């Protein structure tokens, strides 16, 4: 009955939106930043911890928002783990392009995983939901958010 909505709300999004795997503050993190979407009041805070080799060892987030923003934050946390900051910046750029155009780049394993979110391109007001967590993560990596360590 909602066949035409499956392009936007694929099972992956419904699943990760409902039960995010990384939807918590990390016990230890070295960068964090908050992003918000003033238009709708959605808010996300992302946390990341770098390993000794400079790669992201873990990422997590706390968010209030719609299924798309939560699912996107969750898939992002999964995707960026194991990558350097520069690689994350490149991933973010490719993801934003995909969210805006709907075109999934070929032979791009990371984007293939995030492809269920490409459907937002048809809903200009929802593209920001999908990119919110990425903006926050880039701000965190650029040192624009404060960093901290719990306990």
Q: Is 68 in the site for other proteins (CB under 8 A)?
A: yes
Rounded Cα distance between 70 and 17, Å, is: 5
Provide the CA 129 distance to its chain's centre, in angstroms: 9
Q: Is 42 in the site for other proteins (CB under 8 A)?
A: yes
Which of 123, 142, 146, 147 contacts other proteins by CB under 8 A? 123
DSSP secondary structure of 58-101: EEEEEEE--HHHHHHHHHHHHHHTT--HHHHHHHHHHHHHHHHH
Question: How many residues in the shown chain lie near other proteins by CB under 8 A?
Answer: 21
Q: Is 39 in the site for other proteins (CB under 8 A)?
A: yes
Residues in the chain: 151
Q: Is 4 in the site for other proteins (CB under 8 A)?
A: yes
Q: In terms of DSSP bridges, do strands 56-64 and 31-37 run parallel, antiparallel, or are they unpaired?
A: unpaired
Span interacting with other proteins, options 8-16, 100-108, 133-141, 142-150, rule CB under 8 A = 8-16
The CB-of-24 to other proteins minimum distance in angstroms stands at: 19
Cβ proximity to other proteins: between 49 and 128 the closer is 128
Residues 124-143 contacting other proteins, CB under 8 A: 126, 129
Nearest to 57 by CA among 31, 21, 89: 31
Q: Is 74 in the site for other proteins (CB under 8 A)?
A: no
């Amino acid at each position: 009955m909602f066949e035409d909505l499956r392009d936007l709300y694929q099972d992956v999004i419904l699943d990760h939106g409902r039960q995010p795997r990384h939807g918590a503050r990390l016990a230890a993190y070295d960068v964090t930043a908050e992003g918000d979407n003033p238009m709708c009041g959605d808010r996300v805070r992302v946390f990341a911890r770098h390993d000794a080799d400079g790669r992201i060892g873990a990422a997590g987030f706390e968010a209030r928002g719609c299924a798309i923003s939560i699912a996107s934050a969750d898939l992002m946390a999964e995707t960026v783990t194991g990558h350097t900051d520069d690689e994350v910046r490149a991933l973010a750029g490719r993801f934003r392009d995909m969210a805006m155009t709907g075109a999934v780049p070929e032979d791009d394993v990371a984007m293939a995983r995030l492809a269920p979110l490409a459907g937002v391109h048809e809903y200009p007001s929802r593209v920001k939901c999908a990119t919110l967590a990425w903006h926050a993560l880039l701000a965190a990596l650029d040192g624009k958010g404060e960093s901290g360590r719990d306990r």
